[in-house]
Structure 1
């Protein structure tokens, strides 16, 4: 009976190690997803910022953002694509940043119907990663996790 108990104890230890390893791997995966998606949005924002006159023209004639004048939409879209990727990459307000970019991604698809299915298919993985990060958070390798840890220890 003692050997059965020892075997069960050993299996529990192995299981605990596997769970810890999976948590570390999921944190690395979340970091990778955050950095990959952040880079895509950041690059788009930089391109828009480098030529705001072209960006305004695109918003005036190609992108049909509902409820906003084209100039406002151009500056707002550029600002979003420069600010929110930084939050996402750092994991600062990580769920909020991911949820915001998830919705922004959908609005991009709606506002630019000329994108076609090929363009939409490029954005599906971003949407999946952003949805994952919205639901599960940015992981332990994030500013949010550090703030949470400090908050818990100070209480």
Structure 2
């Protein structure tokens, strides 16, 4: 038996164990990112006048009036994190939040280095459900498996 074969035999149970953790990791990533956007949406609702003021003077959303941007932004932050957390339309929800995250960076020119790193981090985490799907612990998986036979 060669060194490669021995190494492969030794690593097989480790890899199998790591593979079994994938559904929990996918769920954890979805819940983590959804929580970030959800909390931001809830904060926006707590002081609506301040939110509109921020969209009027701080955030410069292209092509939208400040009030419309505040309504749309808050709506995205309250609706799509719930879908993402449940894994319902998981890829679509991750895509919407990914684009929303990019727009947040573009719309807020005063974003500091730490804030930019946070947005990059959230964007990278959103790529997981966007590119891999929401995982086995999701409504999408249940629908696909039980109603679509896949």
- Report Cα offsets for 1:32-68 as digits up to 9, x if no partner: 0000000000000000011111100000000000000
Partner of 1:98: 94
Between Structure 1 and Structure 2, whose CA radius of gyration is higher? 1
1:12-40 CA distance string (max 9 Å, x none)? 8x84x655533331111110000000000
After superposition, the Cα gap between the structure-2 partners of 1:29 and 1:119, relative to the gap in structure 1 and judged at 3 Å, is: same
Give the aligned partner of residue 70 of structure 2.
74
Please state if 1:113 is matched with 2:103. Answer: no
Q: 1:42-81 maps to which residues of 2 (within 5 A)?
A: 42-81=38-77
Which structure 2 segments of 5+ residues have no match? none
Shift, 1:122, TM fit: 1.4
2:35 aligns with 39
* TM-score normalised by L of structure 1: 0.85
Q: Partners of 1:63 and 1:116 in 2: how far apart?
A: 14
Query: Residue 113 of structure 1 aligns to a residue in which SS?
Result: coil
Aligned residues: 144
Structure with bigger helix share is 1
The TM-score with structure 2 as length reference comes to 0.88
Is 1:123 paired with 2:119? yes
CA distance in 2, matches of 1:18, 1:142: 25
* CA root-mean-square deviation: 1.9
